[in-house]
Amino acid sequence: MDLSSINPILLLASLMVAATPLLLAAVGELVVEKAGVLNLGVEGMMITGAICGFAIAVNTGDPFLGVLAAAGGGAVLSLLFALLTQVALANQVASGLGLTLFGLGLSSLIGQGYQGIRPPPFPKLNIPGLSDLPVIGRILFSHDLMVYLGLIIVTGVWFMLKYTRAGLILRAVGENHEAAHALGYKVVRIRIMAILFGGACAGMGGAYISLIRVPQWTEGMTAGIGWIALALVVFASWKPWRVLLGAYLFGGVTVIQLNLQAAGVAIPVEYLAMSPYLITILVLVIMSADKSSAPASLGRIFHASR
């Protein structure tokens, strides 16, 4: 075992990379849940985004088009969920599970023939002054653009939810859909838009894994990150900034765990690989004491009877 081989600067830098897919998926789901919809299909949308982005990026040679395609793929899949739960009024838990099962199948179907290929590289941010700063530059200012896009989306979501009328309406729909409906807001339409946004975010999160973090395509490569993102929303008590904090925390756990594996710690690899899931459970236990911040209409079916 050689812990000195772990470089703290690289560790912090890779933490930001490891956290980004989680951050993207979780902030999308946060918006969905704020609108009162529980979409358990994050894992399915992520993996679909991962392969859509990968396929388009490989075929066009443009990673940005790949990310766009991933957002589109995730959104299209989430539209299925939206139709089921908002139009056909199906159970949200069951529909979300179905979405994950379907997405896993769909992605490995599309992904045939993409195994073992390297995607085109993603350009990294390089601001002459900032990126060359000794420690901070390496940690904060020399990542790919997606890392910053994730941060921008979190900021945008926070601002929208807190300071804009649109955010207020979204929260109203999530807190009490009957009242929002009575006020004349189109509950179903707003929820569908939120679901599409969540799908696009999850898709981009998936593409981040297949295009940048790994970068390769393997079946089932999201390995539960979508589910951890769902747990993250609970951890964050439905607050965008806490999602950021939580994503970095989980990113940190993943990175440290991988570094410990590489450093050859005496703990077997399998037990280290369990740690992110076990820590998720632990965090859920700690956070579940406080249920007050959950949107009041979360997971309830809305049917306008009048």
Partner 1 sequence: MLKLERRPQPSKAWVWLAPVVAVIATMIAGGALFAMLGKDPLVAIRTIFWDPLFSEFAFFYRPQLLVKGAPLILIAIGLSLGFRAGIWNIGAEGQYIVGALTGAGVGLAFYPLEGWFVFPLMVMAGALGGWAWAMIPAVLKVKFGTNEILVSLMLVYVAEQLLASMSLGLMKNPEGFGFPGSRNLQQYPSAHNAELIAGSGMHWGVVAAMIAVIFAYIMLTRHILGFHIRLTGEAPRAARFAGVNPGRLVLICLGLAGALAGLAGMFEVSGPAGRVSIDFNVGYGFTAIIVAFLGRLHPLGIALAGLLMALTYIGGEIAQSRLGVPAAAIQMFQGMLLFFLLAVDVMTNYRLRLTRREVA
Residue 292 contacts partner 1 per CB under 8 A:
no
- Under 8 Å between Cβ of 173 and 297: yes
Query: Closest distance between partner 1 and the C-beta of residue 234, in Å?
Result: 7
Candidates 67-75, 118-126, 127-135, 267-275; binding stretch for partner 1 (CB under 8 A): 267-275
Selected binder of partner 1 within 79, 223, 258, 265 (CB under 8 A) = 223
Local structure of residue 221 (DSSP, 8 states): T
Nearest to 53 by CA among 169, 212, 278, 259: 212
What's the DSSP call for residue 266? S
Are 80 and 99 a contacting pair, CB within 8 Å? yes
Among 1, 101, 117, 166, binds partner 1 (CB under 8 A): 101
| Rounded Cα distance, 165 and 168, in Å | 5
* CA–centroid distance for 219 within its chain: 18
Closest CA to 231 of 22, 77, 91: 22
Of 1-9, 53-61, 107-115, 253-261, the segment contacting partner 1 by CB under 8 A is 107-115
- Tell me, residue by residue from 57 to 96, as one string, x for binding to partner 1 by CB under 8 A and - for no binding: -----------------------x--xx---xxxx-xxx-
**Which of these ranges, 55-63, 119-127, 144-152, 183-191, lies near partner 1 under the rule CB under 8 A?**
183-191
Polymer length of the chain = 306
Q: How many degrees, rounded to 5, is the angle at CA 167 between CA 165 and CA 168?
A: 65
Residues that bind partner 1 (CB under 8 A): 40, 80, 83-84, 88-91, 93-95, 97-98, 101-109, 111-112, 181, 186-188, 219, 223-224, 227-228, 230-231, 234, 268, 270-271, 273-274, 277-278, 280-281, 284-285, 288-289, 291, 302-306
